[in-house]
Amino acid sequence: TQLLEQSPQFLSIQEGENLTVYCNSSSVFSSLQWYRQEPGEGPVLLVTVVTGGEVKKLKRLTFQFGDARKDSSLHITAAQPGDTGLYLCAGVSGYALNFGKGTSLLVTP
């Protein structure tokens, strides 16, 4: 199983701040997915990055896939309380989608 390491594990910030979370691996992935999970719910897909160096934007969220396709980052601009949740990166290894341990983000007003 290819391991995905996420950092930081926890992040607590004020509304309006910017933040970046990271997803790293020693293995190459054909693609990486980012999910957000809210309390009491299952993860929901935000984006899939496929090409090395690719940058995708989803409103205030910017996702980047590393050139070597071993890492990815998620940058949130002007965070809002609605961004609060667990952010998970995931990549395919073998037959299944394997997840990192997540970054738990809390945005306070």
Partner 1 sequence: DTAVSQTPKYLVTQMGNDKSIKCEQNLGHDTMYWYKQDSKKFLKIMFSYNNKELIINETVPNRFSPKSPDKAHLNLHINSLELGDSAVYFCASSQRWAGEKLFFGSGTQLSVL
CA distance linking residue 53 with residue 66, whole number of Å: 5
Q: Could you count the other beta carbons within 10 Å of the beta carbon of residue 105?
A: 21
Q: Pick from 14, 59, 95, 109: which binds partner 1 (CB under 8 A)?
A: 95
DSSP 80-95: -GGG-EEEEEEEEETT
Q: How far is the CB of 108 from partner 1 (least distance, A)?
A: 20
Ranges within 30-89 binding partner 1 (CB under 8 A) = 30-31, 33, 35, 37, 40-45, 48, 86, 88
Residue 16 beta carbon to partner 1: minimum distance, rounded to whole angstroms? 26
Cβ proximity of 23 and 32 under 8 Å: yes
Residues that bind partner 1 (CB under 8 A): 30-31, 33, 35, 37, 40-45, 48, 86, 88, 92, 95-99, 101-102, 104
